[in-house]
A and B are shown apart, each in its own frame.
Chain A
Amino acid sequence: MTAAAIPTRRRRDLNLAPLMILASAAVMAGLILMPLVVVFHDALAKGVGAYFAALKEPDALAAVRLTLLVAAISVPLNAVFGVSAAWAISKFEFRGKSVLLTLIDMPFSISPVVSGLVWVLLFGAQGLFGTWLIDHDVKIIFATPGLVLATILVTFPFVARELIPLMQQQGADEEAAALTLGASGLTTFWRVTLPNIKWALLYGVLLCNARAMGEFGAVSVVSGHIRGLTNTLPLHVEVLYNDYDSVGAFSAASVLAGLGILTLVLKSVLEWRHSGELSANRKH
């Protein structure tokens, strides 16, 4: 087991491989894998029947629907933004570009709680537009729009950050060539740019989606916690946990963990199949 016991592969160089692999495995198992095991262990604590019964509960189903809806609105919006930002930043030179890049990164350093709070300050009944919204019967906070806004802010940079380095790497030569050959701008984008970035785009969307579905702190501030109506799945987990319904809480959590794992699997498949295209931008 010790490094010394293993014959050296090269001169003067102990083979550290087994030691490193073991150490990494220990870190991963102890720190990362264990919480996942706990989730599934506790979800199945009372058997498979109780597990599925908890998932079929109407409030749980409503939470799943809401979570998917919020992700289905926020992720495409952030994707469109990401593509636009990457196009502007990578294909053109303009003043203030680094400021723009910094601002795009900014949501990374905002606490999720604050990401929720700012929307309350804007659209809450006591907020800047509160009175107007109430007079016109527009519901934002404590309704789906508020959840979407909070989620968008939290997942804001993901797609853009994925695309910008890649498109900067690729430059504008191919597009320029297509245009010289008489293709329209839109055609060029669809036929030349999009195929070049599609895997990175999908990859960014997957990450954005994972974070969108799992967000807790920000949506907790703007949700209002109405059961079956404004509770997303992560909030529903908290509700059930506070109901002393451990099986229900961890069953719902396992759905989220499952969605997360699905994301990871898709991502791995993407990397495996398209590592060439994806890693183009990694070559510094």
Chain B
Amino acid sequence: MTDRFTAAPVVRPLNDPWPRRPRLVEHSVLPGFKLSLGITLVYLALIVLLPLSLLAIRPWELGFDGIVKTLTDPRVASALRLTFGISLLAALTNAPLGLLVAWTLTRYQFPGRRLMDALVDLPFALPTAVAGIALTAIYAPTGPLGALAEKVGLKTAYSPLGIFIALVFIGLPFVVRSVQPVLQDLDKDVEEAAQTLGASDLQRAAYVVIPAIGPALLSGISLAFARAVGEYGSVIFIAGNLPMKTEIAPLLIVIKLEQYDYAGASAIGCAMLAISFGALVVMNIAQIYLARRGRA
């Protein structure tokens, strides 16, 4: 359909994932290379690299042992486990949910389709603090869904489940918007050919659709995951914030800051960045690999 903010990240040119190694700069008739690359690099350096390098330097005040001690502290370790565990779970949950919504939006015509399509981006447009307050109002024992869940003995708000709900909420658009354009373009002929050859729905899904959307789905999952890991505003209201139980890593950064422990806060921030960025890169490599295999 259209491009989205959730387009497949990083190494983008799927047509030519590993191009032959170019010379430092290849000759082109077009002007403006130095200018455009210059602006890009200066801006990148000032806005991203300079601040982040400071984030990477700051923890060393503690020394290597200090950093290890900070990150292996039971409370920090459990917050990191919780953050990454629930983020992964939420991102994986978003895969079938997002696929379902994307499939519906691209395959069927029904009244309200355009509205549903527009609403997909809502978690993205709604400020996270607002989302947090609203989600808490809904899932607290006094809220409509929270009361319902309580009846079946389920604690939603102020439990890991509450964090999970908030992260599924903010992650859904990433999966839908990654998969949707690919589904849109997926050759119906191939599907129909498979069908006339006698393939069942499931078989078609397994052999035709899933491999084709695999890279995009992976990309969506990885973006949802990266976003979930860092999420603060929407989680903080619904989490309950009990140390070792429902305390997320970004909150721990804030707590460290309030104890004037800038080095410790930076250490946790760095660890989170390293892990989620690493996950993003690994997912991208997997995605490129899938894309190549899909074409081969």
Contacts and interface: CB of A to CB of B under 8 A. Distances in A.
A142 B128 CA distance: 21
Contact of A98 (B8, B10, B101, B253): B10
Contacts of A31: 97, 165, 168-169, 172
Interface string B183-204: 0110000000001001011000
B58 interface: yes
Contact of A164 (B12, B58, B200): B12
Instruction: Say what secondary structure dominates the interface of chain B.
Output: helix
Contacts of B101: 24, 27-28
Interface in B97-152: 97, 100-101, 103-105, 107-108, 110, 112, 114, 116-131, 133-135, 137-138, 145
B1 interface: yes
Contacts of B117: 268
Interface stretch (B69-77, B155-163, B266-274): B266-274
Interface string A243-284: 000000110010011011101110110011001001101111
Contacts of A281: 3
B100 A216 contact: no
A152 interface: yes
B30 A256 contact: no
B229 A109 contact: yes
A168 B125 contact: no
B209 interface: no
A161 B9 contact: yes
A256 B273 contact: no
Contacts of B259: none
Nearest to B58: A121
A111 B269 contact: yes
Interface residues of B, number: 111
B233 interface: yes
B269 A113 contact: yes
Nearest to A282: B181
A200 B250 CA distance: 33
B154 interface: no
Given A21-B110, A39-B134, A168-B13, A32 B123 contact: yes
Nearest to A218: B232
A111 B54 contact: no
A2 interface: no
A126 B263 CA distance: 12
B10 to A, nearest CB: 5
B153 interface: no
A275 to B, nearest CB: 6
Contact of A216 (B15, B232, B279): B232
A103 B49 contact: yes
Nearest to A278: B2
Interface in A214-258: 214-217, 220-221, 233-235, 237-238, 241, 249-250, 253, 256-257
B265 interface: yes
Contacts of A33: 119, 122
A200 B3 contact: yes
Contacts of A166: 3
A88 B33 contact: yes
A111 B118 contact: no
Contacts of B48: 103, 106-107, 153, 156
B296 interface: no
Contacts of B58: 121
B277 interface: yes
B7 A161 contact: yes
A32 B266 contact: no
Contact of A113 (B36, B104, B253): B253
Contacts of B125: 210-211, 214, 257, 259-261, 263-264
A34 interface: yes
Contact of A109 (B100, B121, B277): B277
Interface stretch (A12-20, A53-61, A133-141): A12-20
A263 to B, nearest CB: 5
A208 B55 CA distance: 25
B266 A101 contact: no
Q: What 5 A-B pairs come out closest when comparing CB atoms?
A: A260-B125, A111-B230, A214-B127, A118-B51, A185-B31
Interface of B: 1-3, 5, 7-15, 19, 21-26, 28-33, 35-37, 39-40, 43-44, 47-52, 54-55, 58, 97, 100-101, 103-105, 107-108, 110, 112, 114, 116-131, 133-135, 137-138, 145, 165, 168-169, 172, 181-182, 184-185, 195, 198, 200-201, 223, 226-227, 229-233, 249-250, 253-254, 257, 262, 265-266, 269, 272-273, 276-277, 279-281
28 contacts: A24-B100, A24-B103, A24-B105, A28-B116, A84-B40, A87-B36, A88-B33, A91-B28, A109-B276, A112-B230, A113-B250, A117-B265, A117-B266, A158-B5, A161-B5, A165-B3, A176-B30, A179-B30, A207-B5, A207-B124, A210-B121, A216-B232, A234-B233, A237-B130, A256-B126, A263-B121, A282-B182, A282-B185
